[in-house]
Amino acid sequence: MSTRRVVVTGIGALTPIGKSAPDFWNGLLSGTSGARPIDRFDPEKYATKFAAQIENYDPLEYFDRKEARRLDMVAQYALIASDEAIKDSGLDMETINKDRVAVIVGTGIGGMETFYEQSVSLHEHGPRGITPFFIPMLIPDIVSGHISIRHGFRGPNFCAVSACATGSHNIGIAYDMIKYGTSDYAVTGGSESPVTRVGVAGFNAMKAMSTRNDDPKAASRPFDKDRDGFVLGEGSGIFILEEYEAAKKRGARIYGEIAGYGYSADAYHITAPDPEGSGVILAMEGALKAAGIKPEDVDHINMHGTSTPLGDVAETNSIKKVFGEHAYKMNLNSTKSMTGHTLGAAGAIESVAALLAIYHGTIPPTINIDNQDPECDLNYTANKPVVKDVRYAMNNAFGFGGHNSTLVFKKLEE
């Protein structure tokens, strides 16, 4: 079967360290931490009192009051980032065949704040207290639906849900659609808005999050010996994908190419990583095989790197098993040290970072590495960005339930 090359021609990002893709990139290079005390609700009774929130977010800057009331923030974030990506792509909305535009944008949890608020309303007011928009605001697939409705895209429209691997899985599915000719264009990525009362309480109950309340900006510290859990984040990352020859013909700016991907399962535990890393190894090896490259061709990996005691070591060991001695020669990083863990948006936001590292020839740092864990002994690009020609970059994303996804991005070759 003949296949087509798939390139990225538009990028959108709404993150705790930048409300657009260029601002996000500048935030990464400056080593900005998005963690700050929670101001969306009173966190006094919570073990963790901070998160990586989108600073000074006002939905009325983007939506009218009526529309904002009918959109959970997870959909708002995705719409904002997708609008940016579409504009950035330069696609002519008047002439493209909208029947051939796929929208594959996922969320790991969906409308969490809507679920909480409507549950409270049901408790206080009974069934009549529930808004008729409750279900449409809650369901994960509504994110793709809203993007489709907003722009009139009539191609494939749905999402995959795989917890913190969601963004990457959706990009991979969209990549296949372009590669095999199902669609000509795709809007794809992930979105999440979990900084809610029930979200923070839930992750605290799992003992998964940092409780460094005295110094939030230093709390997300992947690979550091003193890490004590992840920092909850939010936001959205969106790509516009299209076939290379068509993009070239219309004179599009091309950020880079998707070379391949790999998926797998740990088949081990609902939350803990497999200490042997068998599933993660399968995903990375599968991505390398799909891209048709050798381990030593990879220059950079944007790691899942959540800042959890077990996860960082397990991923590090898996990389060493796949890449051997070359593992020590690559520049690795975890941009979660700045954005926090954005759950279903993580794979997409971090893929934006990996692709921009190729495009700009610069690898963002992992901040807050002050006392590197001896068990995490690779080059994590500590605290300062590194200028480097990156031909191939990899992004890892793993989700509760043992879901693994690895994407490989390639520098454009004419």
> What is the per-residue pLDDT across 265-276, written as a single tens digit (0 to 9) for each?
999 999 999 989
Query: Amino acid identity, residue 182?
Result: T
| Cα-to-chain-centroid distance, residue 362 | 19
Which one of the listed residues 146, 164, 376, 403 is annotated catalytic? Answer: 164
pLDDT at 1: 62
Q: Whole-model pTM?
A: 0.98
Q: Which superfamily does CATH assign the domain made up of 6-249 to?
A: Thiolase/Chalcone synthase (3.40.47.10)
User: Is 151 an active-site residue?
Assistant: no
| Cα-to-chain-centroid distance, residue 20 | 14
User: Is 159 an active-site residue?
Assistant: no
Q: How far apart are CA 302 and CA 300, in angstroms?
A: 7
- Residue 126 exposed, middle or buried by CB count within 10 Å (0-12, 13-18, 19+): exposed
Residues in the chain where the model's pLDDT stays below 50: none
Q: How far apart are CA 345 and CA 64, in angstroms?
A: 25
Q: How far apart are CA 239 and CA 183, in angstroms?
A: 15
Which one of the listed residues 146, 151, 300, 341 is annotated catalytic? Answer: 341
Got the DSSP string for 300-327? EEE----S-HHHHHHHHHHHHHHHGGGG
Question: Token pair for residue 117?
Answer: 């608020």
Residues 6+ apart with CB under 8 A from 75: 111, 137, 142, 143, 146, 191
Q: How far apart are CA 33 and CA 218, in angstroms?
A: 8
> What is the per-residue pLDDT across 119-144, written as a single tens digit (0 to 9) for each?
999 999 999 999 999 999 999 999 99
Residues of the chain with CATH 3.40.47.10: 6-249, 261-394
Sign of the CA dihedral with 81 first, then 84, 89, and 90 last: positive
Which one of the listed residues 146, 169, 300, 304 is annotated catalytic? Answer: 304
User: Is 341 an active-site residue?
Assistant: yes
CATH domain 261-394 topology = Peroxisomal Thiolase; Chain A, domain 1 (3.40.47)
